[in-house]
Structure 1
Amino acid sequence: MDADGVISTVRDEQATELDRLGSDKALIAATGATLETDAVREAAATREHALASALDDWSDEIDGAIGAAFAAAADGAAERARRLDAPSGAPDAFGEHLGQVTGTPERVGAGLVAAPLVLDRFYLQVVSFFVNEADERGAALARELRTAASDLEEARNALGVLATEDREQVRNTAVEAIGVAYTAYADALTEMGLDPKPIC
C-alpha cells in the first residue's frame, strides 16, 4: 500500500467519524457551547499548540526525511496558532493522545495522517461560524488555516520512506487517533444532553 493508499484507507474507514467531527455540533463540543469568537479562536489555538508541541518533540528524536516532516508540520501548526492570536487552553483529548504516542510509524499515523484529517473537519465549522457572524476577515483566515492544516504532503513524505510493513501500523494508529477525537466529541455532546449522531 503506497502513501495515498494509506491515507485513502484511513479516510474511508473513519468516514462516519470524520463526517460527524465536521458537523454543525463540532464547535458546541469544542467550546462547551460557548459560541463566541474568542472561544472559537481559543479552541482552534489549543488544538494547534498541542499538535505543534508533539510534532516538535518528535522532530528532535529522529533524523532524516521523517524528522524533517515532523519539523515542517510543527512549524505549520505553530504558525497557524500564531495567526489565530488567541490563548491556548489545556490540551483536549486528541492533544493529550498525541503526547502519549510512541514509535515512528505510530507518530506518523497520529500526527501526520490523523491530525490533518481531524483539523480539516474542525476548521470546516470554524469557517461556517465566521460566515454566520458576517465576519469576512475571520472567515477568510479560517479558510486559509483549513487549507494549511489539512495538507497531507508531510504525511506523504514520511510514508514514502517507511517500510511497507510499517505503513499498516501508520493506518492502525491513524484510525485509533481519529477514534480518540470522535469519542471526545461524542462524550462532550452527550454530557450536554445532545445526540452526537446526525438527525435524519
Structure 2
Amino acid sequence: MSADDVLESVRSNLATELSRLGSSKALYAATEGDLDADRVLRAAANAEHAAAETFDSWAEDEPNETAREIFTAIAEEERAHFDRVREEIDEADSDGYDDELPAIPAHLRSIDGTIERAGALLGRIMVADESKSQYVGYFVGDADPQTAAVFRELREDLEGQRERALDVIEAVCTDEADLEAATEAAATVVQVAYDEHVETLESLGVDPKPVC
C-alpha cells in the first residue's frame, strides 16, 4: 500500500459522497440557500480563511520537519486564496469572511497526530476540489468569466496541494498500519463534509439525493 493507494481508496469508497459534494446542491448548502454572488464569494472566503488558520496552527506544533514545511506552505497558499477571493467581494470595508467555523476546519483542528493530519489534509483537498468546480460553474452561469477564472486558478493550485499531501503521507507512514490510519483520517474528512452537506440541505427542505 502506498500514498496513491490511500487516495484511490478514499475515491472509491466515498465516490457517492464526493460526487454529491461536487453537485450544484453543494453550493446551495454552502450558502444556506442564498445563491447571491456576494454570498457565494463569502462562503468561499470563509473556507479559505479557515483553512489557512487551521494549517498555520498545525505547523506551529508539528514535530515532523517535512510535515511542518508542507503545512506551512499550504497555509500560505490558502491565505493567498483568501486574499484573492476577498478582492472579488463588493464591500471593501468587510473582512470578507464569517466568524462561524465550517465543519471541516472544526474537525481538522481536533486532530493531533502527524499521520492523521497527513491523511486529513488529503481529504480536505479532495473535498475542496469538488467544491471549487461548483464555484467555477456558478460564475460561468452568472456570466462572470473573470471571477470564474479566479476559481479555476484556485482549483488548479489544488493539484499541487494534493501532491504535497501525498508526499507527507509517504514521509510519515512507515507501515501498513500507518497508511490505514491516514486512509481513515482522509475518509473521515470527506464524511464530515458530507454529513454537514446533508444536514444543511435537509434543514432547508431539500433532498440531498440527486434527482434521477
Q: TM-score range by the shorter chain?
A: over 0.9
Counterpart of 1:160 (choices 152, 170, 174) is: 170
Contact 1:45–1:88 (8 Å) recurs in 2: yes
Cα deviations by residue, 1:92-146 (Å, 9 ceiling, x for unpaired):
1112111111211111111x20111000111111001100111010111111111
Opposite residue 171 of structure 2, the aligned amino acid is V
Equivalent residue number for residue 74 of structure 2: 73
Confirm whether residue 49 of structure 1 aligns to residue 45 of structure 2. no
Q: Are the aligned partners of 1:43 and 1:88 in contact in 2 as well (CA < 8 Å)?
A: yes
Moved over 3 A (4+): none
- 1:188 lines up with 2:203 in the alignment: no
What SS does structure 2 have at the residue aligned with 1:161?
A: helix
Matched, 1:17 2:17: yes
Contact (CA 8 Å) 1:66, 1:158: kept in 2 or not? yes
Q: Residue 99 of structure 1 corresponds to which residue in structure 2?
A: 109
Q: Secondary structure at the match of 2:209?
A: coil
Residues 113-192 of structure 1: matches in 2 within 5 Å?
113-150=122-159, 151-162=161-172, 163-164=174-175, 165-192=177-204
Structure 1 vs Structure 2 CA RMSD: 1.2
Residue 12 of structure 1: how far off its partner (Å): 1.2
**How far apart, in 1, do the equivalents of 2:203 and 2:135 lie?**
22
Q: What is the distance in 2 between the residues matched to 1:51 and 1:149?
A: 13
Unaligned 5+ runs, structure 1: none
Task: Report if the CA contact (8 A) 2:133-2:155 is conserved.
Answer: yes
List runs of 5+ in structure 2 lacking aligned partners: 90-95
Kept in 1: contact 2:119–2:169 (CA 8 A): no
Distance 1:44 1:148 in 2: 15
**TM-score, L = length of structure 1:** 0.95
Counterpart Cα distance in 2 of 1:19 and 1:146: 16
Q: Tell me by how many angstroms 1:149 deviates.
A: 3.0
* C-alpha distance in structure 2 between counterparts of 1:108 and 1:48, whole Å: 18
AA matched with 1:155? A
TM-score by length of 2: 0.90
Cα distance between partner residues in 2 of 1:169 and 1:50: 24
How many residues matched? 199
